[in-house]
């Protein structure tokens, strides 16, 4: 009798757990039919995005105009290894990039795709950088970033400008470090940016990015491929940027970088972000603590909306150094 009661209790417990994770699952297991409807509505709302430059329009639409300069306006997915609120996770992702880029006191940093500038305030203060030049293609974000920098009294050390990653308006060998926090997937093309980054870095300088790539070994169905192309187009992700991490590394070597390292940090990015978004969808506050479960850290459990919707299911941390002694790209291309 006791065993039957225990088994019944276990069954009820499991049903409760399933019910609790429904919002989470709904968020990331969206069917192609549902995605087709969502994309169709997006095209009807802003058809111009299909033909013009979609990125700035997309990021303008996702930025509040009258933002309180005291409230952070990060727009990365966050690093959730320890953090349990969105803002903490976003700060941790910026810190991880800062450490990986080996930021150091006295550095002159170029930050590309700076968004509303939160990471620049953090890096300048925590690493005591000499100067940051931050650029972003979305004018509204640059305006908000400038307001935040001015409010912090750091306008003499953080210079925020409208600009595009693929035509950096700086002379050769101008910076010690370059960062691009979750934005290079939009650059048209990412490879042009990598070439520009190599040009404006000083010898011995370092490039550090977080970025999206397709998951190796999971080709999409024809219907998914079509929907993912359309979705990428609507948010300004060029087809030329969709290649796996190995091709990413090969491009860096070819351009002339050395000590190229790429590692997936997806396990600590997507699960927390997916749970956070599910909580928001369920009406919870953006400052709510995100409850993670052990299974969230098992990759097979969480193939994300980015994988399904965009065909970009991996999240990588990339670092590469510009050699101190110039080498010919032809010599390094075998790497």
Ligand X SMILES: C[S@@+](CC[C@H](N)C(=O)[O-])C[C@H]1O[C@@H](n2cnc3c(N)ncnc32)[C@H](O)[C@@H]1O
Binding site for ligand X (CB under 6 A): 55, 59, 74-76, 112-115, 119, 135-138, 141, 164-165, 181-183, 186-187
For ligand X, the closer CB: 8 or 127: 127
φ, ψ of residue 85 in degrees (nearest 5): -125, 160
User: Token pair for residue 293?
Assistant: 């479960």
280-291: buried (b, 16+ CB within 10 Å) or exposed (e) per residue?
beeeeeeeeebe
**Smallest gap from residue 178 Cβ to ligand X (A):** 12
**Smallest gap from residue 54 Cβ to ligand X (A):** 10
For ligand X, the closer CB: 187 or 270: 187
For ligand X, the closer CB: 167 or 325: 167
**Smallest gap from residue 267 Cβ to ligand X (A):** 19
**Smallest gap from residue 179 Cβ to ligand X (A):** 8
For ligand X, the closer CB: 182 or 308: 182
User: Token pair for residue 48?
Assistant: 């111009």
Taking CB atoms, the residue at the shortest distance from ligand X is 115
Nearest to 145 by CA among 126, 123, 166, 162: 162
**Smallest gap from residue 18 Cβ to ligand X (A):** 32
d(CA 91, CA 125): 13
d(CA 226, CA 232): 10
Q: Cis (ω within 30 of 0) for the bond into 189?
A: yes
> Residue 153, Cβ neighbours under 10 Å: how many?
8
φ, ψ of residue 89 in degrees (nearest 5): -65, -40
For ligand X, the closer CB: 115 or 272: 115
**Smallest gap from residue 176 Cβ to ligand X (A):** 19
Residue 204's H or E segment, with its range, is strand 201-213
Contact 262, 245 (CB under 8 A): yes
For ligand X, the closer CB: 39 or 209: 209
């Amino acid at each position: 009798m006791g065993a039957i009661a225990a088994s019944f209790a276990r069954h009820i417990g499991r049903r409760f757990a399933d019910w609790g994770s429904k919002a989470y699952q709904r968020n990331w297991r969206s069917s192609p039919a549902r995605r087709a409807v969502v994309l169709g509505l997006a095209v009807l709302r802003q058809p111009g995005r299909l033909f013009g430059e979609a990125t700035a329009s997309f990021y303008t639409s996702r930025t509040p105009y009258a933002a309180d300069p005291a409230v952070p306006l990060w727009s990365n997915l966050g690093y959730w290894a320890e953090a349990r609120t969105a803002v903490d996770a976003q700060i941790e992702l910026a810190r991880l990039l800062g450490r990986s880029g080996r930021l150091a006191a006295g550095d002159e940093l170029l930050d590309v795709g700076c968004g509303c500038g939160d990471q620049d305030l953090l890096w300048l203060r925590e690493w005591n950088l000499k100067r940051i030049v931050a650029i972003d293609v979305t004018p509204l974000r640059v305006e908000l970033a400038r307001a935040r920098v001015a409010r912090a009294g750091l306008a003499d050390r953080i210079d925020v400008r409208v600009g595009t990653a693929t035509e950096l308006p700086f002379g050769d060998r101008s910076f010690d470090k370059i960062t691009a926090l979750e934005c290079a997937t939009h650059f048209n093309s990412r490879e042009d940016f990598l070439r520009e980054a190599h040009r404006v870095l000083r010898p011995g300088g370092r490039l550090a990015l977080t970025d999206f790539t397709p998951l190796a070994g999971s080709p999409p169905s024809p219907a998914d491929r079509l929907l993912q192309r359309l979705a990428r187009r609507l948010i300004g992700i060029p087809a030329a940027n969709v290649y796996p991490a190995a091709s990413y590394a090969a491009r860096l070597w070819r351009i002339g970088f050395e000590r190229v390292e790429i590692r997936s940090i997806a396990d600590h990015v997507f699960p927390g972000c997916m749970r956070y978004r599910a909580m928001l969808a369920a009406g919870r506050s953006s400052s709510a603590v995100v409850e993670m479960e052990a299974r969230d850290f098992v990759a097979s459990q969480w193939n994300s909306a980015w994988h399904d919707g965009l065909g970009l299911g991996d999240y990588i941390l990339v670092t590469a150094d510009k050699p101190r002694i110039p080498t010919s790209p032809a010599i390094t291309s075998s790497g």
